Amino acid sequence: RKKSTMGRGSLIVFEGCDRAGKSTQCVKLVEALENSGTPAKLWRFPDRGTAIGGIISQYLEKKCELEDHAVHLLFSANRWEAVPKMKEHLLQGTTLIVDRYAFSGVAFTAAKQGFGLDWCRQPDIGLPKPDLILYLTLTPEEAAKRGGFGGERYENTPFQEKVAKNFEHLKENNWRVIDAGKDMESLHEEIQEITRAVIKDSKDKDIEKLWI
């Protein structure tokens, strides 16, 4: 299909700690955009539905062990394999609402012993650059109130605290820090307002490359 004459869609990424409500807000945002006539599609990483994503899923479910560098590269490959489809949607005017992206990739691996931010960034250099990163934050107290972790890999407080520290180092001017402690509806309103402005603003801009 041909390029949209309405301008391209935006690449909007949600990042943040566990239980901040990323997935809930992603779904609500896509719904709200679609209902107001803005084409939008939900996307998520890891995409567990591909062959690479299947291995990642097994790893997260602790059904297999993988060397830390190797699994980092699989997470990155899982993004690269999605790029042609992502670009197609964006150029056709569809906004992509993405639940986690390369920032999770870096923040999670760099929380492991012996990994620096710089090494972790390398394989994701050149990916489509998000127009906006909505970084949902929650105080440890708020997080604790929301109940326990699931049983997947990385779902423990000491690790998540390291991840949160790493996210702080990745912030750039296209990041918006959102206090996820407020109620779901106020959060949704705030997110919609920011997102709609960015969608309008990026319509005629080229898609840039991440970390270049």
Which positions touch ligand FDM (CB under 6 A)? 45-46, 60, 75, 100, 104-105, 108, 154
Min dist. Cβ of residue 5 to ligand FDM (A): 33
Nearer to ligand FDM, 71 or 199 (CB): 71
| Cβ atoms 34, 40 nearer than 8 A | yes
- How many CA atoms are closer than 13 Å to the CA of 187, on its beta-carbon side? 23
Tokens 């520290």 -> residue: 165
DSSP string covering 152-181: STT-SHHHHHHHHHHHHHH--TTEEEEETT
Q: How far, CA to CA in Å, does 37 sit from each of 42, 93, 134, 200?
A: 15, 12, 22, 13
Structure-token match 């992603």, residue found: 26
Q: How many helices (H) and strands (E) does the chain have?
A: 9, 5
- Looking at the Cβ atoms of 22 and 89, the one nearer to ligand FDM is 22
With CA atoms as reference, report the closest residue to 25 among 144, 150, 191. 191
Q: Please say which residue, 115 or 203, places its beta carbon nearer to ligand FDM.
A: 115
Residue 19 or residue 89: which is nearer to ligand FDM going by CB?
19
Least spacing, CB of residue 144 vs ligand FDM, in Å: 18
- Smallest gap from residue 40 Cβ to ligand FDM (A): 19
Residue of this chain nearest to ligand FDM (CB atom): 105
Residue nearer to ligand FDM on the CB measure, 25 or 38? 25
Residue 200 beta carbon to ligand FDM: minimum distance, rounded to whole angstroms: 28
Q: How far apart are CA 53 and CA 87, in angstroms?
A: 20
Nearest distance from residue 45's CB to ligand FDM, in Å? 4
Our CB check for ligand FDM shows the closer of 38 and 104 to be 104
Q: Considering the complex, what minimum distance in angstroms separates the CB of residue 91 from ligand FDM? A: 23
